[in-house]
Amino acid sequence: MLHKLLSLAMGFPTLEKIQKTLKSYNEHAHHFMGAYSEENLVGIVGLHIHETHGIIKHIAILESYQKQGIGKALITEVIKHFQLITCEVETDEEGRGFYEKCGFTCSPFEGKYNTRYRGKWGKVVNNLSEYSLT
């Protein structure tokens, strides 16, 4: 099921591309988090973590489970679990609205083949004494 979900999250998936991506998640600072319905994996988010900054690389929810808040719950959970202060993503027009609903600010840029969007999310810091600053 992981292969199927990952293929939903990438453009032009091939078996080689999926295997290479899965191998990259075995590296330090790359993580997967899954969403389950009963015992079935129905959604994933994959990201790279550097200290309190996350970069979302992949997110996918099985079609029959979409539009139920699972994707937003996954993003909320990775932000909480990894104690992220900032997070970013690159997406297309189709994903832009989803990320904006999750609190990201999306800005367009010209990608290799079409318009893409950089999404940025940042935790509102009201009390800097909670964080160590270097």
Out of 78-87, 88-97, 117-126, least confident range: 117-126
**Structural domain count of the chain:** 1
What is the overall mean pLDDT for the chain? 89
For residue 124, pLDDT beyond 80: no
Three-state SS string over the chain comes to CHHHHHHHHCCCCCHHHHHHHHHHCCCCCEEEEEEEECCEEEEEEEEEEECCEEEEEEEEECHHHCCCCHHHHHHHHHHHHCCCCEEEEEECHHHHHHHHHCCCEEEEEECCCCEEEEEEEECCCCCHHHCCCC
* CATH of residue 102: 3.40.630.30
Q: Can you give the residue range of the structural domain that contains 51? A: 2-130
pTM greater than 0.75 (yes/no): yes
Q: Pick the residue with more confidence: 13 or 61? A: 61
